[in-house]
Amino acid sequence: MGLYVQKYGGTSVADLERIQDVAKRVSSYFQNGDDVVVILSAMAGVTDNLIDMAKTISDSPDKRELDVLLATGEQTTAALLALTLRSMGYPAMSLLGFQAEVITDCHFGNARILEVGAQRIRDFLKKRTIVVVAGFQGCDPRGNITTLGRGGSDTSAVAIAAALEADICEIYTDVDGIYTADPNVCEKARKIESISYDEMLNMASLGAKVLQIRSVGFAKKFNVPIHVRSSFSEEEGTMVVSEEPAMESLVVSAVTHDKDQARITLKKVPDQPGIAAKIFSPISEGGIVVDMIIQNTRSGGQTDLTFTVPKADFKRALEIEKGVAVDIGAEDVFGDEDIAKVSVIGVGMRNHSGVASLMFNPLAKENINIIMISTSEIRISCIVEEKYTELAVRVLHNSFGLDRED
């Protein structure tokens, strides 16, 4: 008997039939004597439709009002699941974000959770009630409705699990777990049984498709075990947990890739204090997220500077930097959209020397040129030409022994 927080994504509640399936699963836990708190996303496609509707009103719809509109999606599924559970004879109650006291800052559209009160959830649980909470939404300290950004229901679930000190937070989705690589790219990719929070945090490009990466930070902070699994089967998925000694036996846990990359290079930038701020401030003011940054010192007090941005922001970033280049007296600005990032991730890396060469040699053998490199404690990322992405993933998956069943 335990306390389960279960989050179901949009495809798991896509229609009344799927909601009935969710109700069956939830009630089987409840009947087994477990307490269950369910966090729901909106029906698949609903959030996008609402955004489209708002965009026909205005190209840049007011963020506060857009949140009020979007919050209806999760309110609808929460009510429908509670109605379904009740029609099956189970005591179920829905709560909206503000009722569950999911208190956020006031960054409409991408709010961060400050605190989860959850008193009403606790009260309902004491009465052996199944609590259904609308995910993705909260309210700011003044009572305005906020939403947590794309995939925010994952963070709702983990934050509520943390507040309740739940035994586990199950994330039900349409894939059956986290893989050693994208199975569409690498047919030998295997489902990972267990992965650490830190590894997951470093797998944003692969993992974010399955789990909002912010939720993993929350889970790590409050040590909430996450079980990522499919709502379409009974199979075990992937556990995302604190680092365990066994994890270090593997040097690398997964290979990820991300084609949503473009790079911009400023050539012969004067090497003076404050130059970096002049280059990156206008980019961040434009709301563009910079990923990798590399600076090569040249002779004569000049330097070349290269950084990557999402493909969608490439043209805008290039325009901005053309202006910057004139201001700071850089010689030239150019860019490239045909690149991709390939990364290897593993907590075992910390205790193994020579991982970098284990990564670079197999790529060199296939004549894959490495354009940029960046490293963290448990991750090495290389920027390569986009056309080599799949080949690079397969080569690395094999060279780090991830193909082996063991």
Contacts with its own copies by CB under 8 A lie at 16, 53-54, 56-58, 61-62, 64-66, 68-69, 71-72, 75-76, 78-80, 82-84, 86-87, 92-94, 96, 98-99, 120, 143-145
In the complex, what is the shortest distance from the CB of residue 117 to its own copies, in angstroms, rounded to a whole number? 12
In the complex, what is the shortest distance from the CB of residue 124 to its own copies, in angstroms, rounded to a whole number? 12
In the complex, what is the shortest distance from the CB of residue 106 to its own copies, in angstroms, rounded to a whole number? 13
98 or 400, CB closer to its own copies?
98
Strand-pair partners of 94? 132
Q: Is 317 helix (H, G, I), strand (E, B) or coil?
A: helix
148 or 358, CB closer to its own copies?
148
Of 355, 357, 356, 368, nearest in space to 394 by CA: 368
42 or 344, CB closer to its own copies?
42
Which residues does 89 contact at the CB level (< 8 Å), separation at least 6? none
In the complex, what is the shortest distance from the CB of residue 38 to its own copies, in angstroms, rounded to a whole number? 13
64 or 112, CB closer to its own copies?
64
Q: How far are the Cα atoms of 40, 172, 305, 337, 341 from residue 216, in angstroms, in the given order?
A: 18, 15, 32, 30, 22
Pairwise CA distance, residues 112 & 105, whole Å: 6
Report the half-sphere exposure of 85 (CA within 13 A, side-chain side).
27
64 or 311, CB closer to its own copies?
64
Of 319, 323, 318, nearest in space to 306 by CA: 318
Beta-strand (E) ranges in 74-129? 92-95, 102-104, 113-116
Tokens of 371: 């354009």
Q: With contact defined as beta carbons under 8 Å apart, do 231 and 26 qualify?
A: no
In the complex, what is the shortest distance from the CB of residue 44 to its own copies, in angstroms, rounded to a whole number? 16
Pairwise CA distance, residues 386 & 45, whole Å: 30
139 or 358, CB closer to its own copies?
139
99 or 375, CB closer to its own copies?
99
In the complex, what is the shortest distance from the CB of residue 53 to its own copies, in angstroms, rounded to a whole number? 7
81 or 358, CB closer to its own copies?
81
In the complex, what is the shortest distance from the CB of residue 93 to its own copies, in angstroms, rounded to a whole number? 7
Q: With contact defined as beta carbons under 8 Å apart, do 132 and 95 qualify?
A: yes
Question: Which residue type, as a one-letter code, is found at position 80?
Answer: L
Of 31, 25, 295, nearest in space to 170 by CA: 25
In the complex, what is the shortest distance from the CB of residue 212 to its own copies, in angstroms, rounded to a whole number? 23
84 or 381, CB closer to its own copies?
84
DSSP assignment of 209-271 equals: TTS-HHHHHHHHHHT--EEEEETT-----EEEES--GGGGGSS--EEEEEEEEEEEEEEEEE-
In the complex, what is the shortest distance from the CB of residue 302 to its own copies, in angstroms, rounded to a whole number? 47
52 or 234, CB closer to its own copies?
52
In the complex, what is the shortest distance from the CB of residue 70 to its own copies, in angstroms, rounded to a whole number? 8
Backbone angles phi, psi at 186, to 5 degrees: -130, 105
